[in-house]
């Protein structure tokens, strides 16, 4: 499996590449954003390990470019920018995972192999039948979603969450179970990634003005997929008509 490492710090890039080779993977290193873009288009990697702060073209731009033509390509971001806003923004662009520097090489390798395994499973299940509930339809082969007749653009992570919920429709999934299925890893205590991802998904499939909502919260349990008619505001009593005055 080919792994593209886009990292401008030589020692970090060499260490990542060494551990990837030790695990039987085939790493390629790009030391700046432009080289990373060229490698993305020419080397056809199976996964990308990406720094955000790069000379020339930054990591945010690379994620956008990659998602234009490779919606399923696993992208694991490694960055010194660790605040929640940056993490949420990177995930919203379509990254599969984010690790804060400094990080454990063993953990990075575990996350890369988990992403590769998850992608292989998704490809093997590409014959799965579409799901249609309410005004929403999901085509897992094309990774397409339509709500109220309009296509919805989801990141790969958002799509995995929606499909995970849809596969278990009408059954509540805990945050831990969702995390295992979407990220293929165990959820750390206090991790809010599932809630953040659910909020992003709801903005795209529930807050569209259609007749249904789809991602339901079960307090104290988790989330489930169920097409539920949207509650419309109750109409108030008719306004009193003014009496005509006789002149």
CATH number of the domain where residue 30 is located: 3.40.50.2300
- Among 90, 124, 158, the domain boundary falls at 124
Q: Structural domain of residue 220, as residue ranges? A: 131-229
159 φψ region: left (φ > 0), alpha (ψ -120 to 50), beta (else): alpha
Per-residue confidence (pLDDT) for residue 69, from 0 to 100: 72
Domain contains 162: yes
Do residues 114 and 166 both lie within one domain? no
Burial of 5 (0-12, 13-18, 19+ CB in 10 A): buried
Do residues 61 and 18 both lie within one domain? yes
Residue 164 sits in a domain whose CATH number is 1.10.10.10
Do residues 118 and 20 both lie within one domain? yes
Do residues 93 and 115 both lie within one domain? yes
Neighbours of 148 (CB within 10 A): 14
Domain contains 242: no
Domain contains 204: yes
Neighbours of 40 (CB within 10 A): 22
Per-residue confidence (pLDDT) for residue 244, from 0 to 100: 39
Provide the whole-model pTM.
0.58
Do residues 104 and 29 both lie within one domain? yes
Burial of 96 (0-12, 13-18, 19+ CB in 10 A): buried
Per-residue confidence (pLDDT) for residue 122, from 0 to 100: 65
Domain contains 238: no
How many independent structural domains does the chain possess?
2
Per-residue confidence (pLDDT) for residue 235, from 0 to 100: 45
Per-residue confidence (pLDDT) for residue 246, from 0 to 100: 39
Give the pLDDT of the chain (247 residues) as one tens digit per residue.
899 999 999 999 999 999 999 999 999 999 999 999 888 877 778 999 999 989 888 898 999 888 877 777 899 999 887 777 778 888 888 888 899 888 999 999 999 998 888 877 666 554 566 888 889 999 887 788 999 989 998 988 899 899 999 987 767 888 988 998 888 778 888 888 899 999 999 999 998 878 899 999 988 889 999 999 987 555 444 445 444 333 3
Per-residue confidence (pLDDT) for residue 44, from 0 to 100: 79
Per-residue confidence (pLDDT) for residue 169, from 0 to 100: 74
Per-residue burial over 22-32, b if 16 or more Cβ lie within 10 Å, else e, is eeebebbbbbb
Do residues 120 and 135 both lie within one domain? no
Angle at 6 between CA 45 and CA 39, to 5 degrees: 45
């Amino acid at each position: 499996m080919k792994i593209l490492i886009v990292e401008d710090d030589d020692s970090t890039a060499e260490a990542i590449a060494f551990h990837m080779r030790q695990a039987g993977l085939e790493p390629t290193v790009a030391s700046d954003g432009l080289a990373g873009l060229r490698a993305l288009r020419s080397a056809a990697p199976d996964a990308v390990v990406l720094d955000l702060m790069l000379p020339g073209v930054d990591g945010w731009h690379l994620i956008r470019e990659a998602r234009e033509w490779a919606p399923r390509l696993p992208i694991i971001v490694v960055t010194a920018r660790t605040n929640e806003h940056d993490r949420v923004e990177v995930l919203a662009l379509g990254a599969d995972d984010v690790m804060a520097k400094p990080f454990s090489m063993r953990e990075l390798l575990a996350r890369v192999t988990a992403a590769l395994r998850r992608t292989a499973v998704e490809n093997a299940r590409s014959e799965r039948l579409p799901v249609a509930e309410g005004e929403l339809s999901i085509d897992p082969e094309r990774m397409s979603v339509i709500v109220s007749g309009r296509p919805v653009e989801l990141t790969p992570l958002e799509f995995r969450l929606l499909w995970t919920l849809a596969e278990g429709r009408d059954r509540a999934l805990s945050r831990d179970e969702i995390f295992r299925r979407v990220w293929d890893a165990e959820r750390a205590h206090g991790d809010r990634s599932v809630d953040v991802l659910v909020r992003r998904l709801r903005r795209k499939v529930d807050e569209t003005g259609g007749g249904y909502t789809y991602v339901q919260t079960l307090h104290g349990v988790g989330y489930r997929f169920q097409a539920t008619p949207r509650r419309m505001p109750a109409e108030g009593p008719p306004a009193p008509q003014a009496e005509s005055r006789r002149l």
